[in-house]
Chains A and B, each alone.
Chain A
Amino acid sequence: MRAVDIIGVGMYPFKNHKIGLVEMGVRAAIEAVKDAGIKSSDVNIGYFANMQGGNLTKEFTTGQAVMWGAGVNKVPVFNIENACTSGASATTLAMMSIASGEYDIALVVGAEKLNVPMVPLLNPSLRDINVLEGNVVINGFAQRAVRHMHVFGTTKEQLAMVDVKNRRHAAMNPMAMFYQRPVTLEEVLNATMMSDPLTKLSCCPNADGAAALVLCAADLSSKYTTKAVHLKASVLVSGIYDEWPDMQTFEEDQRASRIAYEKAGLGPEDISAAECHDAFTICEVMHTENLGFCPIGEGGPFIASGATALGGKMPMNVSGGLLGKGHPLGATAAAQIVEGVRQLRGECGDRQVIGAKTFLTECMGAELRGDAKTCTVNILTK
């Protein structure tokens, strides 16, 4: 298997935009191609990640239109839907395509258009028995929060601190929905209650946006750039789906990260900073535990200690995360990797993690029988 680098990244800001899905994807793709120092015709294979295009804006096989908008034609193009992890799932496929020796350069683009009238509460399937009995995405995470508080003594204040921290990070990120818009603990706690204990500010906002990556065989990357970042592991797992779902841990995180750490030859103690799927405040607390950054059950005190803030011993979601950047589903997991690349290149200005050498991104998406259907962990090194 060949080693794989990321040689170019691009992003279209996570905000509410007038332009459509294809144009956002194209703009991110062009930035990534130019950043990589390649020509569009150098791309051998393309992966386009999107979740809701078929549902909300009635678009399908959008990837080919995005690729051609960025000058990529003739080559294989795949459209990937894997809920919130679509962008990372596409990256896993791109990495495999190059590692196998079959292709040299892959373009990954994730994009999502959510700024449309009437976006319903997200649910995985109208016929799913849990959905027919009242489950929607926010309830699943509220049930985890209730359980985590009951078993480990996690507090509402500790949960709210996640949003305060990630909004503080986002305030330093011009790509974020909440650029220059921090919040206070009182604002988070006193916001409209959505699903106890999660208030409106405990939930990530919808956003439009796009993110793109150029992956290249490591032995070829010096031909194009001097700032290649190494993609040491790109892992995707799915759930167990047994008759006994555990709502207080993320087994998928534990399994995906164990595989990724092993492939990268690193452990959680070696990671400089990480992005995780903080769709709701409770998520980051649990990811911090289940990725191995603190013991299981201690995510609440860990955030309260300041360890996960910029400048702390394990900075989490320095981009602002989903809570601060917004969550354009298909773009989200690709944008996490964009942040990792920019952090390792030292390009992040005020939110730069000083001396960052390794970066982990985790994403999780959709639910079946109380388990995550998709969970991704990517590890990047300088």
Chain B
Amino acid sequence: MSEELKPMLEGIFEVGPPTKLLGAECPTCGQKFFPKPIVCPHCLEDVQEIKLNTEGTVYSYSILRIPNMLYKYPQPYASGYVDLDIDNIRVYGLFDTDKVEDIRIGQRVTLKSGQIGIGLDGKECLRYYFTPVDGGDK
């Protein structure tokens, strides 16, 4: 992975390794968020940035088989929701582009990052993705 590649948006994840999602926690009500909101929408108080747990379980997923030229994702690609351990929030993300057919509801996954598609500036960039914890058989 070349070092000049940047995340598709600043402030979303720490490249690592290990890659970590940058979430937030409200000091008043304790609610955790991803991504970090401007303020806690429940309390309107400032939130504190936290690094979220990197492991979780697939809640639901989809495999897009037609081209998506928006950000030049590989074809096909999988994306969906993962329930993060401990933090107890459901986050959206891409799944490992080499293991598209391995994703199932209930699958244990862990967070990584790598070059996938292009960013808002049209240049290649880094995205976070979830990959099966047991590695599958690939």
Per-position binary interface string of chain A over residues 195-210, scored 1 when its CB falls under 8 Å from any chain B CB and 0 otherwise: 1100000000000000
In the complex, whether B109 has a CB less than 8 A from a CB of chain A is: no
Interface residues of B in 65-107 (CB under 8 A from A): 65-66, 68-71, 73, 77-81, 89-90, 92-94, 105
| Cβ–Cβ < 8 Å partners of A243 in chain B | 31-34, 89-90
B92 touches A194 (CB 8 A): no
B59 touches A247 (CB 8 A): yes
In the complex, whether B114 has a CB less than 8 A from a CB of chain A is: no
In the complex, residue of chain B having the shortest beta-carbon distance to the beta carbon of A120: B70
A133 touches B81 (CB 8 A): no
- In-complex Cβ contact of B92 among A121, A135, A144, A244 (8 A): A135
| Cβ–Cβ < 8 Å partners of B81 in chain A | 143, 245, 247, 370
Contact status of A134 and B105, CB under 8 A, knowing A129-B92, A243-B32, A247-B60: no
Contact status of A133 and B79, CB under 8 A, knowing A127-B9, A143-B62: yes
In the complex, residue of chain A having the shortest beta-carbon distance to the beta carbon of B128: A133
In the complex, residue of chain B having the shortest beta-carbon distance to the beta carbon of A136: B68
Contact status of A134 and B77, CB under 8 A, knowing A121-B68, A129-B35, A146-B105: yes
B62 touches A245 (CB 8 A): no
| Cβ–Cβ < 8 Å partners of B78 in chain A | 134
| Cβ–Cβ < 8 Å partners of B61 in chain A | 143, 146
Counting chain A residues whose Cβ lies within 8 A of the other chain, the interface size class is: 20 to 34
Among B60, B70, B93, find the residue whose CB has the most chain A CB atoms closer than 10 A: B60
B9 touches A129 (CB 8 A): yes
A126 touches B120 (CB 8 A): yes
A135 touches B79 (CB 8 A): yes
| Cβ–Cβ < 8 Å partners of B43 in chain A | none
Per-position binary interface string of chain B over residues 115-138, scored 1 when its CB falls under 8 Å from any chain A CB and 0 otherwise: 000001000000110000000000
In the complex, whether B8 has a CB less than 8 A from a CB of chain A is: yes
Contact status of A132 and B59, CB under 8 A, knowing A243-B31, A243-B90: no
Per-position binary interface string of chain A over residues 168-209, scored 1 when its CB falls under 8 Å from any chain B CB and 0 otherwise: 000000000000000000000000111110000000000000
| Cβ–Cβ < 8 Å partners of A16 in chain B | none
B71 touches A132 (CB 8 A): yes
- In-complex Cβ contact of A194 among B34, B66, B89, B128 (8 A): B66
In the complex, whether B15 has a CB less than 8 A from a CB of chain A is: no
Q: Tell me the smallest distance from the CB of B25 to a CB of chain A, in Å.
A: 11
Tell me how many residue pairs across A and B have CB atoms closer than 8 Å: 97
Among A126, A146, A247, find the residue whose CB has the most chain B CB atoms closer than 10 A: A146
In the complex, whether A130 has a CB less than 8 A from a CB of chain B is: yes
Interface residues of A in 112-146 (CB under 8 A from B): 120-121, 123, 126-127, 129-136, 138-140, 142-144, 146
In the complex, whether B64 has a CB less than 8 A from a CB of chain A is: yes
B60 touches A134 (CB 8 A): no
In the complex, whether B12 has a CB less than 8 A from a CB of chain A is: yes
In the complex, residue of chain B having the shortest beta-carbon distance to the beta carbon of A198: B62
In the complex, whether B50 has a CB less than 8 A from a CB of chain A is: no
> In the complex, A126→B80 CA distance in Å?
17
B64 touches A370 (CB 8 A): no
In the complex, whether A156 has a CB less than 8 A from a CB of chain B is: no
> In the complex, A147→B104 CA distance in Å?
10
B60 touches A146 (CB 8 A): yes
> In the complex, A196→B80 CA distance in Å?
12
A147 touches B105 (CB 8 A): yes
In the complex, residue of chain A having the shortest beta-carbon distance to the beta carbon of B67: A121
> In the complex, A15→B9 CA distance in Å?
39
Q: Tell me the smallest distance from the CB of B36 to a CB of chain A, in Å.
A: 10
Question: Which 6 A/B pairs are nearest by Cβ-Cβ distance?
Answer: A134-B79, A142-B62, A243-B89, A147-B60, A130-B92, A143-B60
Q: Can you report 20 A-B residue pairs in the complex whose CB atoms are below 8 A from each other?
A: A121-B68, A129-B9, A129-B34, A129-B35, A132-B8, A132-B9, A132-B12, A133-B128, A134-B78, A135-B92, A139-B64, A146-B62, A194-B64, A194-B65, A195-B63, A195-B66, A243-B32, A243-B34, A244-B90, A370-B92
Further pairs besides A133-B94, A134-B93: 17, Cβ < 8 Å: A121-B70, A123-B70, A132-B12, A135-B79, A135-B92, A142-B62, A146-B105, A147-B59, A150-B60, A192-B65, A192-B66, A194-B65, A196-B62, A243-B31, A243-B32, A247-B59, A370-B81
